[in-house]
Chain A
Amino acid sequence: MSNFIPSRELPKQQPQSQTGAQGSDPESNRGFFSDDERGKVLFGMTSFLTSESLVFAAFFVAYSALRFSSTNFLPAGVSLPNFDTSTIIDTVVLLSSSFVIFLAERALARRKLNLFRLLWLTTSAMGAFFLSGEVQDWLKETLKLSTGEIGGPFFIITGFHAMHVTVGILLQTIMLIRSFIPHNYDKGHYGVTCVSLFWHFVDGIWLIVFTLFYLWR
């Protein structure tokens, strides 16, 4: 079917698929992605993560701006968030889980289903370990939401990040359950790839959060 009814110049080259018989000729789709389900999903996920990272960016900018300009950033007698070995352990566990999920994905690509499940579950467990450490950090913390310009940003930003970790674990659980459905991966595993991307994103964000609250003393 032709369509954009003809115009200023005739086509230099007749399209190969004038009758619209797709699929029979692989060349007819060259340069176009209509049937590339994996590419579509990954593109959508990347767009979403770009947008989501900008919400974090908005928070980071707000925090940094307040830190530079506020007269009441750190009220007298208050110290910056508590930084001890448990924070470092949490950080190491979360960041290395990125590597574990990478191995899990590779295992799946090689169709080693059980190894995939094991590594996938390990990732979730490492995430859960991080979360519990985070909650303990909050409970130990002397800062409050209303403490100067440090309390609010600290709890809101780490809380927002922890929310993302939680969502990541939930998504991983769904993927784990789905891995038991027979023939689940016959058409590829881009759901797993997306969750993995999300997890890398959550880890990357933590690096910035860690820098802003623990390294920037």
Chain B
Amino acid sequence: MTADNTIQSTDTKRGEDSQSGYRENWWQYFTFNKDHKVIAIQYLVTSFTFFLIGGLFAMIIRGELVTPPSDLVDRQLYNGLFTMHGTVMIFLWIIPSLVGLSNFLIPLMIGAKDIAFPFLNALAFWMFPPAGILLMASFFLPSGTAQAGWWSYPPLSTQNPSDPVLNGQLFWCLSIVLLGVSSIMGAVNFVTTIVRLRAPGMTFFRMPIFVWSVLSAQLLQLFFLPSLTGGVLLLLCDLSLGTNFFEPFRGGDPVLYQHMFWFYSHPTVYVWALPVFGIIAEILPAFSRNPLFGYKSVAVATIGIAVISATVWAHHMFTSGTPMWMRILFMFTSVLIAVPTGVKEFSWTATVWRGKLHLDTPFLFALGSAAMFLFAGVTGVMLGAMPFDLHVHNTHFVVGHFHYVVYNTITVGIFGAIYFWFPKMSGRMYNEGWGKLHFLLTFIGANLTFFPMMPLGLQGMVRRIASYDPQYQWWNVIASFGGFLLGVSILPFIANIIYSWAFGYKVSDNPWHATGLEWTTTSPPPKENFKEVPTVTLAPYSYGRPQYSTVDSTDEGAVRRHHR
């Protein structure tokens, strides 16, 4: 069967299948449902809710930083806000939203009926809202939330102002442990699914790069998350049970916590970034009608990044009394990551090179993500260079670099993925104009917010402070303006998704004429994903070969045609 009649035949069979799908049964999203597609939407919506909360915190922080003195919120709340902002965005937005996307896509991309252990999958999801609520509940404690930053370094985090049990730090620890258990379940599920449930013919080197990325990311979760979970458990014991693991005054070692924390928390950056690199690798070929350049090298680079990322953690600790041999070793490994990461950047560039570009919203987001990642990566290499890092450590330069990674690359990439697979999830098309508006506001807002942090850091403005020297005000006002613009940029997205989910016009099963296996089934996919188990015969990303291409060589506006 050729691609053309696959699409045709499924087109005619649509109707009842997609009707009985996911929109009408809205209540199933509130139940303990074991369908990976339902769990995916549950993850995405819940994590997006936390994204809005974390964003609100960020805007209060930016509001405080408009003027040099500390005048908007009291300092204790300010400390709580930046701690919660970091924790929420990382543990309740980036990780779970990517788990949501992976949940939806992995079984579809490898031709499986569901995730390996559906019950465990649902259980893992239902541990996530309670963990989030627990974290939020700490705002109502007499001493407020945790205030030691998202790293919770002891001895600051074990100061324990009020009560050994009812304190924000304990709630923080419990929440992280709960999320850790949930993530381990997820990792077991994803790794097993990818290794054991691939459809016949889906060899490892026929897997889309997104699947490679999720495999690498989830292996990192499996091997490194135990370190954070263990470290936080010990912190919890110090805090509430009176042990002395990290208490320097009683013989404990606070640097030990830093090692346990960063041993996971550096690799975790790749747990977030790799799937986004995968998203970019899916979107760019589809909208430039070119095969992904150097597929095999990109797949190997994905694994390479994961492996090297395990050996770099102490670059966060150059100023923690780390001995010189360690500093040099970790500087070397940190900078080494630029090699496989560079392979990816070159692959993306070569993919869109001389392609027939269709500037639709998913493509804009993917390209924006790839472009801004260049800046994130270059500043990352700068920070990996120990002599430079010693000077900018704990300044806004680090904050700027980090946000170029987590917002400008990762969050922007996630938005791209949501637009790209929205037709598959809902069977409907989003509004292109609003999508472009969202991109424009995001792109301008993100750069306005996070670029000023670089010069601020170089000039010496320390991070996590509520008041600062007036000489820094100019850049801070720009960053705050950008921050509020980012807040506004979310509005067209929300309106677009809600409206389109309900009233968007229905689309064919493969509106982008993309080549992935997920596009061969109906939109939304039926309960067991495929009418019959697909047999895979060829490698992915076979765009731009006229004899096979579904469109393009004959009809230039083919992708666009579906936007009417």
Residue numbers of A with Cβ under 8 A of B are 1-8, 11, 14-15, 17-22, 28-29, 32-34, 36, 39-40, 43-44, 47-48, 50-52, 54-55, 57-59, 62, 65-66, 69-73, 145-146, 148-149, 151-153, 155-156
Q: Which of B79-87, B242-250, B271-279, B420-428 contacts A (4 or more CB under 8 A)?
A: B242-250
A73: which B residues are within 8 A, CB to CB? 251
Query: Assuming the A-B contacts A6-B548, A7-B291, A146-B243, are A1 and B535 also in contact, with contact meaning beta carbons closer than 8 angstroms in the complex?
Result: yes
Interface string of B95-125 (1 = CB under 8 A from A): 0000000000000000110001100000000
Q: Which 4 A-B pairs have the closest CB atoms?
A: A72-B251, A7-B542, A152-B243, A58-B230
A58: which B residues are within 8 A, CB to CB? 226-227, 229-231, 260
For B192, the closest partner residue in chain A by CB is A44
Cβ-defined partner of B243 (8 Å) among A7, A65, A145: A145
Interface string of B1-38 (1 = CB under 8 A from A): 11100100000000000000000000000000000000
Query: Assuming the A-B contacts A34-B112, A50-B222, A51-B222, are A66 and B6 also in contact, with contact meaning beta carbons closer than 8 angstroms in the complex?
Result: no
A69: which B residues are within 8 A, CB to CB? 253
Interface residue B294 (Cβ < 8 Å from any Cβ of A):
no
Query: Assuming the A-B contacts A3-B517, A34-B533, are A40 and B539 also in contact, with contact meaning beta carbons closer than 8 angstroms in the complex?
Result: no
**Nearest-CB distance from A116 to chain B (Å)?**
25
- Please determine whether A47 and B260 come into contact, CB atoms closer than 8 angstroms: no
Residue numbers of B with Cβ under 8 A of A are 1-3, 6, 111-112, 116-117, 184, 187-189, 191-192, 195-202, 206, 222-227, 229-231, 233-234, 237-238, 241-245, 250-253, 256, 260, 291, 515-517, 520, 530, 532-542, 545, 547-548, 550
**Nearest-CB distance from B552 to chain A (Å)?**
12
- Please determine whether A62 and B188 come into contact, CB atoms closer than 8 angstroms: no
- Please determine whether B192 and A47 come into contact, CB atoms closer than 8 angstroms: yes
For B536, the closest partner residue in chain A by CB is A4
- Please determine whether A51 and B196 come into contact, CB atoms closer than 8 angstroms: no
Cβ-defined partner of A2 (8 Å) among B195, B535, B539: B535
Q: List 5 A-B contacts (CB under 8 A).
A: A4-B539, A32-B202, A55-B233, A72-B250, A152-B245
Cβ-defined partner of A152 (8 Å) among B197, B198, B237, B539: B237
- Please determine whether B244 and A7 come into contact, CB atoms closer than 8 angstroms: no
**Nearest-CB distance from A161 to chain B (Å)?**
13
- Please determine whether A156 and B234 come into contact, CB atoms closer than 8 angstroms: yes
- Please determine whether B199 and A34 come into contact, CB atoms closer than 8 angstroms: yes
**Nearest-CB distance from A70 to chain B (Å)?**
5
For A146, the closest partner residue in chain B by CB is B242
For B230, the closest partner residue in chain A by CB is A58
Q: Which of A8, A20, A51 has the most CB of B within 10 A?
A: A51
A66: which B residues are within 8 A, CB to CB? 245, 251-253, 256
- CA of A207 to CA of B242 in the docked complex: distance in angstroms? 27
Count contacts between A and B, CB distance < 8 Å.
201
**Nearest-CB distance from B310 to chain A (Å)?**
12
A151: which B residues are within 8 A, CB to CB? 243
A145: which B residues are within 8 A, CB to CB? 237, 241-243
Cβ-defined partner of B533 (8 Å) among A20, A33, A47: A20
- CA of A48 to CA of B516 in the docked complex: distance in angstroms? 30
Q: Which of A58, A145, A156 has the most CB of B within 10 A?
A: A58
Query: Assuming the A-B contacts A47-B187, A62-B260, A149-B252, are A40 and B541 also in contact, with contact meaning beta carbons closer than 8 angstroms in the complex?
Result: no
Cβ-defined partner of B234 (8 Å) among A17, A34, A43, A59: A59
- Please determine whether A51 and B184 come into contact, CB atoms closer than 8 angstroms: yes
Query: Assuming the A-B contacts A47-B188, A50-B223, are A3 and B533 also in contact, with contact meaning beta carbons closer than 8 angstroms in the complex?
Result: no
For A29, the closest partner residue in chain B by CB is B200
B536: which A residues are within 8 A, CB to CB? 3-4, 15
**Nearest-CB distance from A24 to chain B (Å)?**
12
- Please determine whether A55 and B243 come into contact, CB atoms closer than 8 angstroms: no
- CA of A24 to CA of B48 in the docked complex: distance in angstroms? 45
A32: which B residues are within 8 A, CB to CB? 198-202
Cβ-defined partner of B515 (8 Å) among A5, A21, A59, A152: A5
B195: which A residues are within 8 A, CB to CB? 43
- Please determine whether A54 and B226 come into contact, CB atoms closer than 8 angstroms: yes
- Please determine whether B535 and A20 come into contact, CB atoms closer than 8 angstroms: yes
**Nearest-CB distance from B535 to chain A (Å)?**
5
For A18, the closest partner residue in chain B by CB is B535
B535: which A residues are within 8 A, CB to CB? 1-3, 15, 17-18, 20, 28
For B542, the closest partner residue in chain A by CB is A7
- Please determine whether A33 and B251 come into contact, CB atoms closer than 8 angstroms: no
B550: which A residues are within 8 A, CB to CB? 5
- Please determine whether B542 and A5 come into contact, CB atoms closer than 8 angstroms: yes
- CA of A32 to CA of B201 in the docked complex: distance in angstroms? 8
**Nearest-CB distance from B299 to chain A (Å)?**
15
- CA of A22 to CA of B200 in the docked complex: distance in angstroms? 9
- Please determine whether B260 and A20 come into contact, CB atoms closer than 8 angstroms: no
Cβ-defined partner of B226 (8 Å) among A20, A55, A65, A72: A55
- Please determine whether A33 and B197 come into contact, CB atoms closer than 8 angstroms: yes
Query: Assuming the A-B contacts A20-B535, A47-B192, A156-B237, are A70 and B253 also in contact, with contact meaning beta carbons closer than 8 angstroms in the complex?
Result: yes
**Nearest-CB distance from A55 to chain B (Å)?**
4
- Given contact pairs A7-B541, A66-B251, enumerate 8 new A-B contacts (beta carbons under 8 Å): A1-B520, A6-B542, A47-B187, A52-B226, A70-B253, A72-B244, A149-B244, A152-B241
B229: which A residues are within 8 A, CB to CB? 55, 58
- Please determine whether A22 and B533 come into contact, CB atoms closer than 8 angstroms: yes
For A5, the closest partner residue in chain B by CB is B3
A4: which B residues are within 8 A, CB to CB? 206, 515-517, 536-540, 542
